[in-house]
Amino acid sequence: MRIFLSEWRKLRRPTLFLGSMGAVIAVTALIVSLLFLLIDSDTGNAERGMRITREILALSSGITIGFSNSSGLLGLVALCVFAAQTAQEYSYGTLRNLLVREPRRLRLLIGKYLSMSIFALISVIISAITSVALAFALSGTAKVETAAWRTADARVELLETFINVLISTIGYGTIGMILGLILRSPISSISIGVGWLLVVESIVSIAWSPSADWMPGSLLGVVAAGGSPLGVSESLSYTEALIRVSALLLVAAVASGLTFRRRDVAS
């Protein structure tokens, strides 16, 4: 608990907390706004140039589409926070002081991870609230019927999507923390993580499509969507994607944890 509270004290600093939550609100508002305001656009109003019609948005699951589509950018925010908070302990030289108070390194690591996971939970809650509120606000402009959004089925859809997006967001954050432990530099961890997820995975999956079934970013996208994302005809099932990404992250986390336990703490 002391480790958790120590890490949380840093995470709740106004510059970090308010800045991160502002970014969460901004990316969510951007995705949801484009979804509704470009509903009649020939270039599409969703990822991969997809066009999500009024009929689809009017379904009970329509209230969750904007929220689900925001998961990728939401995950990148989590990756940056997890990576920076982990790697900066080396850059600032504060890790030595922490280990004086708590010499059990894995215990320290777990406490930091749990604290950052709560931070991710709060960001997903704020994203969900922003998405739902903005969807209702823009439904009139887009001429989308919202009667189905108030049903029990819609609430179940929203809960399931919330859980899936939370899993995806923490998954992205885990990638960030692993990179922070390995690279020990906030800038390197963030740039490599974002570059891999946004650029390298796309290039590799285009050159060799089966690779997408093993790329962490693609797998987390399937998890966040609760199955095949819109516009993707052939994809792993939700369960397969969850098992694969969990196995990949578990192996990487164990390896980086053992490295952290044995390696010198100097940057």
Q: What digits encode the pLDDT tens for the residues 152-206?
A: 999 999 999 999 999 999 999 999 999 999 988 899 999 999 999 988 988 888 8
Q: What is the mean pLDDT of the chain?
A: 88
Task: Give yes or no for a contact between 85 and 7, defined as CB atoms under 8 angstroms apart.
Answer: yes
245-262: per-residue pLDDT in tens? 999 999 999 998 888 887
Q: Is the pLDDT of residue 266 over 60?
A: no
- Which amino acid appears at position 177 of this protein? M
**3-state secondary structure at position 128:** helix
Q: Is the pLDDT of residue 72 over 60?
A: yes
Q: What is the pLDDT of residue 44?
A: 75
Task: Give yes or no for a contact between 148 and 157, defined as CB atoms under 8 angstroms apart.
Answer: no
Percent of the chain beyond pLDDT 90?
56
Q: What is the pLDDT of residue 149?
A: 94
80 exposed, middle or buried (CB, 10 Å; 0-12, 13-18, 19+)?
A: buried
Give the end-to-end CA distance of the chain in Å, rounded to a whole number.
27
Q: What is the pLDDT of residue 107?
A: 87
Range 180-204 burial, b when 16+ CB lie within 10 A, else e: bbbbbbbeebbebbeebbeeebeeb
- Quickly count helices (H) and strands (E) in the chain: 12, 0
The residue-averaged pLDDT of 112-122 equals 94
H-type alpha helices, the chain: 2-11, 14-37, 54-57, 62-69, 71-91, 95-101, 105-142, 152-183, 186-195, 201-207, 216-225, 238-262
DSSP string, 54-68: HHHHTSTTHHHHHHH
Percent of the chain beyond pLDDT 70?
96
How far apart, in Å, are the Cα atoms of 40 and each of 46, 148, 174? 12, 21, 38
- Which amino acid appears at position 255 of this protein? A
Q: How far apart are CA 52 and CA 56, in angstroms?
A: 6
Q: How many CB atoms lie within 10 A of CB 263?
A: 13
pLDDT higher for 224 or 99?
224
Query: Where does the pLDDT of residue 23 fall: very low under 50, low under 70, confident under 90, or very high at 90 and above?
Result: very high
The residue-averaged pLDDT of 45-51 equals 74
Q: What is the pLDDT of residue 192?
A: 94
pTM summary value: 0.91
Q: Is the pLDDT of residue 233 over 60?
A: no
Q: How far apart are CA 88 and CA 90, in angstroms?
A: 5
Of 5-19, 137-151, 241-255, the one with minimum mean pLDDT is 5-19
